[in-house]
Chains A and B, each alone.
Chain A
């Protein structure tokens, strides 16, 4: 019974169907299924599946975006339940995320946020057109572990370098890691500007964040 419900939850994410996801959350609440179980055994496997299919070229950005929307619907439906029973999701780390100043594109950045959140990170999304200093100030205020900087345009990707410099000026390096992404961004660009990592897509950003925050002795996540 419970397995069947989890399977339906997974399918709702794969189908990118927020209404269905909300409906299944209500069913879970009525049946007394712990909300964190619903997230981890029901919905997250759906998002993981979509992420893997995307990485393999079998699913596409619209699939990923809609899966993210369904995931958000599910977590916000279950949030009151989680608070009611006093449970908390274990946090893998705090990440400040934004699209760099001069750039208002947020598809990639939002997808990264969704995948990171679904996988247990606390994400603070600063939105788009974010001034360089703001990344540093917010990271400092929240004691964030990672700053993620997105840029879609070749003219704005140079701003990622300014963010690295701003974070350095605020004395947050090397404790706070900086990861960069966006269509024109490459690993060599990340290396050039002194960032700690680059993820080619939303799924890669999850592995990247895990690796950057792993404690000594832990094995690489791939």
Chain B
């Protein structure tokens, strides 16, 4: 039996779906890209005063054409990330503007060098199935920021990439970069390496950019991930059930646009639903209710058999303290139990504003615990205990028997040095280091051991050529971070 956590019973799930379909038909969705509105209207939606009313039958037909499963591939072309079913994978959070400086512990603006370091650390940690375009490179002009981040990740990583375009002109160039990386359009379509986040604006609004982006991605067969982010009580109903209804309505409308542009193109029911903190006005990513929203939303998607995504493991703490460990650890476990295909957010602090390589190292341990949990309890041996008791003799000396040596690695996750399980004496002997100190050391070791992937000269030249032209146009003379 594999562990699984469902928060919605059949009746509540049914009511959520029923209200979500009612919402997109009766209340409707504002869709700002004219092409998206045209697609919807041609398929039977009704437009009134700029609001598109989507009939349930059209939405359901669109949901039907979404592929139930697809993979992201690493540089070698291996399908290492599976979207679909109950597979659970993790990637670092995206688009932070600050980094926790490991020396000063200040939150400072991020630069290309910070992104490179985060990519190197995530590359070395097997807990991260994919990379993300984790931070904004502040020394790079904003108009090419999105594609520059993707360029750096392609340059320093072999893993699949969770990314996104956040301005209209960058998406086509980002696709060019991926084509250069894969070798051809056909190769990219056959073995996609990256997935693009597309964000509806809560409540029930698709900006011109987001709705057009959905169409462009679908037609290019580049996987899209819908990041619906209702905020309970602020930009969504205060109740968790009501928020899940809105999340479903936003995902369903986005999927409808996406599938009308290209039926069968890969798309993920995802998001960053969160509660809204009524004291601070922030969106607490470490709140248990935020994790509950992610789980419930994934459960709604799974009722259709759709691939899922969630935003968890980010903490509201400002440094690598007990709060950061507690919030991120609980969320990693919950997300895993929800069977969410891709869980973004590791490494993040300050409610998604700040990234930290040291936290990536710490979160990797929470993820490893969650991954171990998902393996459940297996029988492994023919007799569960009797045979081992027989071998261990009267003294019960289990350390000596071969089964112990054979199975302990499978049975136990062996944490990295960031987790201290030694004796008090050995802890004191080694300097009495706290978590942050150990994480700093771990990051240093990982960065030192990191080797840049072997990228063919032709791919490198093509990537560099695309980027050099873009950078020049933006008024820069070099490629920072390279």
Contact = CB atoms under 8 A, between A and B. Distances in A.
Interface centre among A60, A184, A201 (most CB of B within 10 A): A184
Interface string B67-102: 000000000000000000000000000011100000
| Residue in A62, A154, A157 whose Cβ sees the most chain B Cβ within 10 Å | A154
**Interface of B, helix, strand, loop or mixed by DSSP:** loop
B359 interface: no
Contacts of B278: 60-62
A143 interface: no
Interface string B139-164: 00010000000000000000000000
B interface bracket (residues with beta carbon within 8 Å of A): 20 to 34
Given A154-B352, A155-B95, A183 B282 contact: yes
A155 B166 contact: yes
B235 interface: yes
A57 B96 CA distance: 28
A80 B279 CA distance: 36
B281 A157 contact: no
A157 to B, nearest CB: 7
Contacts of B281: 61, 107-108, 183, 201
A154 B201 CA distance: 14
Nearest to A63: B278
Contacts of B350: 184
Interface in B344-366: 350-353
B247 interface: no
Given A62-B278, A155-B95, A192 B205 contact: no
B136 interface: yes
Contacts, number: 45
B172 interface: no
Contacts of A76: none
Given A61-B279, A157-B97, A104 B109 contact: no
A204 to B, nearest CB: 12
B283 A158 contact: no
A57 B350 CA distance: 19
B107 interface: yes
Interface in A131-164: 154-155, 157-158
Contacts of B280: 183
A61 B234 CA distance: 9
B264 interface: no
A202 to B, nearest CB: 9
A105 interface: yes
Most buried by B among A60, A104, A107, A183: A183
Interface residues of A, number: 18
A60 to B, nearest CB: 4
A192 B95 contact: no
A188 interface: yes
A108 B277 CA distance: 12
Contacts of B107: 186, 188
A4 B235 CA distance: 38
Interface in B189-228: 201, 205, 207
A154 B234 contact: no
A104 B231 CA distance: 13
A154 B233 contact: no
B172 to A, nearest CB: 19
Contact of B233 (A62, A104, A105, A188): A62
B279 A158 contact: no
Interface in B14-60: none
A183 B282 CA distance: 5
Contacts of B207: 104
Contact of A158 (B142, B234, B235, B276): B142
Interface centre among B96, B166, B205, B279, by most A CB within 10 Å? B279
Given A104-B201, A107-B234, A184-B97, A154 B353 contact: yes
A182 to B, nearest CB: 8
Given A155-B95, A184-B97, A105 B353 contact: no
Interface in B165-207: 166, 201, 205, 207
25 contacts: A57-B279, A60-B279, A61-B278, A61-B279, A61-B281, A62-B233, A104-B207, A105-B234, A105-B235, A107-B234, A107-B235, A107-B281, A154-B95, A154-B96, A154-B97, A154-B353, A155-B166, A158-B97, A158-B136, A158-B142, A183-B280, A183-B282, A184-B350, A184-B351, A186-B107
Interface of A: 57, 60-62, 104-105, 107-108, 154-155, 157-158, 183-184, 186, 188, 192, 201
Given A61-B278, A107-B235, A107-B281, 11 more contacts: A60-B279, A61-B233, A61-B279, A61-B281, A104-B205, A105-B234, A107-B234, A154-B97, A155-B166, A157-B97, A192-B109
The 10 closest A-B pairs by CB, nearest first: A60-B278, A184-B353, A183-B282, A61-B278, A154-B97, A154-B353, A104-B201, A107-B234, A183-B281, A155-B95
